[in-house]
Structure 1
C-alpha cells in the first residue's frame, strides 16, 4: 500500500449514529422551570465545571456508537474532533486528521525546519484544514496538553471557524504556559515577581520561567535559579536577540548604543550594561511612538501606547506577551517613581539620577533590562 493510500485510510472519520444534542444544562432544573442552556463552551480541566461538561459530551458521543470502548478512546486521544451535521449525522476524528497551529516565532526559519518550544513567541490559533465544517454544523473538540485537557463546544448551529480556531489557540496557550497565566491571575504573586524584577518574558517563557516561578518562595533556591538563568544567556543567544531588535527602526537607530550594552553584558560588566541600556528603553518607545503618531509623549503615555499596540496586533489582551501585565511591570519596576532619598533598585530614574546603590548593579538586573528591551520588540 502506498503512503498516500494509507493516509486516506487513516484519515477516514468514525461515523456515529444520529447525535441529538442542543445544549448543556448550566444548572439543575425541574419540568416547567426556566433554565440556562450552554450552547458554546471553551474551558480547561483546571475548571471544576469542565469535568462534568466533558463527561456528558463524551457520553453522548459514545451512546451513538457500536464501539463500547469509544468513550475511553475519546478520553485518551490527543485530539478528538466531532462534527454534527444538520441532519444529526456525525463524524468523529480521533488523532487522524491534520492539526495546524498558527504561531508567531522568534527567529528566521526555513520550510521543513524543526521548531521547538523556545522558538515560539505566541500561539495564535489551531485549525483542522482537511475537515469541512458548515455554518449550521455543531462542533466538539477535546484535546490534551500533557496532563491537562481542553474542551471547545459550539452547539448553536451558528458555527464560526475563526471563533473556533482562536479559542483553541487560547486554550493551548493557557495549558502550555501554565506559570505565565498563573502569575497573571494572582496579583499577590505577581507583585512578588515584579519586586524581584522578573516577568514572564517571552524569551524565557518556557522552562526558565517555570523554574523562577517555582522558586519564588525559597530565597536560596531562587538565587541559584537566577544565576543559572543568567548563565543560559550565551553570546549566540544574546546576539540573536539583538538581531531581532534591529529589524525594527526604533531599535535600529540605536544600534551603536545597544551593541555596547550587549557587549558589556557578555563581558560580565553589569554596571556598564545597565547604565548603557536602561535609558534606551524609553528612547525605543519614544521613537516607536513618533513613528506611529508623529509626536512625542510622556513616559506613561509611551507605555500605554506599547500596550494598546500589542493588543491591536494580536487581537486580544491575553496573548503570551501579556500586554496589560507588562504595562504594570514597566511602571512599577523599570519606570518606578523617582525617590531622591534613594532606592535599592537599578531602575530607569534611579540609574539616570545616580541614586541607585552599587549593589543594585547585578548581572541578574542586567539580564532583566535586556529581556525588557526584548519584550518591547514584540509589542511595537
Structure 2
C-alpha cells in the first residue's frame, strides 16, 4: 500500500481531513537570468563546454558542495536585487522554480512537502504513521506548488545532518515532474536510511550479517537492524542482541505480520500452515517454525510465479530471479528499501544454501538441509526461526 505522508501543513485554520496547504508564500522574483545548468568542465572563452542539466547528489559527494555554493550565490544575488535576505545554510527545504517568462519562485521552508511511501499496514486518512510502519520510500513532492510544463526546478533539502540536492533544467521544455519526484525520493531514502545502504555496500560486513542469517528485512529496518549491524561490525557476540529482538516479536506483532501474508493469494492458499508456524513461534517451538516455513517458501514463490506466467512453474534459479525482478518492479527500482538484488543474494547464500552431507555442514538456516534432514539439531534455534519468519515476510512485499 502506498500513502503520502505530509511533512508540513498550514496552521492558520483547522485543516480538512485529507487536505494539505503550504505554510507560507514564496519569495517572487522578476527579470531572472535564464539558467542553463552547471558546467561539467573548465573552458576558455569561445571553447565548447559540457553542461549538466539534470543531476541528483548528496552532501557525501565532493561535487555537491561546489554546486550548492553556486546555487546559493545565485539565490543570494536574486534576493539582494529586491532587498531580501536569504540564509540557505539555515534552511531545511529550499525549492527554486524558474518560470519561462523569466520570473521565479523561491520557497524556503514554506512549501508543504509530501513523502510517498509504502506502509506495512492498512491506514485511514489522518491517522498517525510511525517510522517502523514504513516499508519503503519512493517519492518526495510539493503537492501545493503549481508547476508548469516549461519550468526549471532546483531543490536542496536536509535530512538529519546531511543534504540532498537535485535539479532539472528541463532542456526539452517538457518537465517530467514524476521523474523529479522519484529522484527526490531516492535522495531522501538514501540519506534517511544511510546505515542500511552502508551495511549492504560494505561487502565484508554484509557477508558476516548473511553468515549469521541476518538481512535488513522490511520488518526490522527502522529499529532492530541498526543494532545488529553495529554489533556485527564491531565483532561483538550477537546472542544478547538476538534474544532482545526475539522478545520484541510478541503475539500481537506476529499476528499483524500473518494478516499481511494472508492478504496475498499465494500466501492465503497456505493459511493453515502459516498460522501453525506463527503459533509455534509464540509457543517457543523453533523446529516446527523452521520445518514449515523453509519448506513452504519455495512453494509460495512458485505459486506467485505461476500467477505471473500463465500457470507455468519454474526451478529455483528462475524463482530467485523472479523474486528480484518483481520487487524492483513493485518498488520502482532496484535500490529501494526492499533491496531486491541483495535479498536474492541472501536467499541464495542462506535460505537456499547447499550443504555437504559428508562433512555435515547443513544448518537449520538452509531449506535444503532442513528438507533432507541434514541440519544439526542444535541449529534449530529461536533465532533461526525468526529469520525464517522475516524471510517469508520479505517475500510478501516482493510478490
TM bin, normalised by shorter chain, reads over 0.9
d(CA) in 2 for partners of 1:220, 1:88: 59
1:344–1:360 contact (8 Å) kept in structure 2:
no
Q: Could you say which residue in structure 1 is the equivalent of 2:28?
A: 15
Q: C-alpha offsets along residues 188-243 of structure 1, whole Å, 9 cap, x if unaligned? A: 32222211111111110112111111111334353322221111111111110011
Secondary structure at 2:233's aligned position in 1?
coil
Cα displacement (A) at 1:96? 1.2
Residues 81-160 of structure 1 aligned to structure 2 (within 5 Å): 81-157=95-171, 158=173, 159-160=175-176
Is 2:263 the partner of 1:247? yes
Residues 145-184 of structure 1 aligned to structure 2 (within 5 Å): 145-157=159-171, 158=173, 159-184=175-200
- Long gaps (5+) in structure 2: 1-10
Cα displacement (A) at 1:174? 0.4
Is 2:82 the partner of 1:64? no
Q: Could you say which residue in structure 2 is the equivalent of 1:30?
A: 44
d(CA) in 2 for partners of 1:68, 1:42: 28
Which protein is richer in helix relative to its size? 1
d(CA) in 2 for partners of 1:181, 1:65: 38
Is 2:226 the partner of 1:232? no
1:124–1:170 contact (8 Å) kept in structure 2:
yes
Q: Could you say which residue in structure 2 is the equivalent of 1:75?
A: 89
1:17–1:65 contact (8 Å) kept in structure 2:
no
Query: After alignment, is 155-164 or 314-323 more displaced?
Result: 155-164
Q: Could you say which residue in structure 2 is the equivalent of 1:352?
A: 371
Secondary structure at 1:42's aligned position in 2?
strand
Q: Could you say which residue in structure 2 is the equivalent of 1:214?
A: 230
Quick one: structure 1 residues 125 and 8, their matched pair in 2 at CA, closer, same or farther if it must change by over 3 Å?
closer
Secondary structure at 1:50's aligned position in 2?
helix
Q: C-alpha offsets along residues 23-76 of structure 1, whole Å, 9 cap, x if unaligned? A: 112233322333321111111112121111111111111111135641x2x232
Quick one: structure 1 residues 355 and 148, their matched pair in 2 at CA, closer, same or farther if it must change by over 3 Å?
same
Quick one: structure 1 residues 10 and 280, their matched pair in 2 at CA, closer, same or farther if it must change by over 3 Å?
closer
d(CA) in 2 for partners of 1:291, 1:8: 42
d(CA) in 2 for partners of 1:49, 1:8: 34
TM-score (norm 1): 0.94
d(CA) in 2 for partners of 1:9, 1:176: 23
Quick one: structure 1 residues 248 and 147, their matched pair in 2 at CA, closer, same or farther if it must change by over 3 Å?
same
Name which of 379, 383, 386 aligns with 1:367.
386
d(CA) in 2 for partners of 1:295, 1:372: 24
Q: C-alpha offsets along residues 254-286 of structure 1, whole Å, 9 cap, x if unaligned? A: 111111111111112222211221111111111
Cα displacement (A) at 1:152? 1.0
Cα displacement (A) at 1:328? 0.8
Secondary structure at 1:152's aligned position in 2?
strand
1:44–1:148 contact (8 Å) kept in structure 2:
yes
What number of residue pairs does the alignment pair up?
A: 377
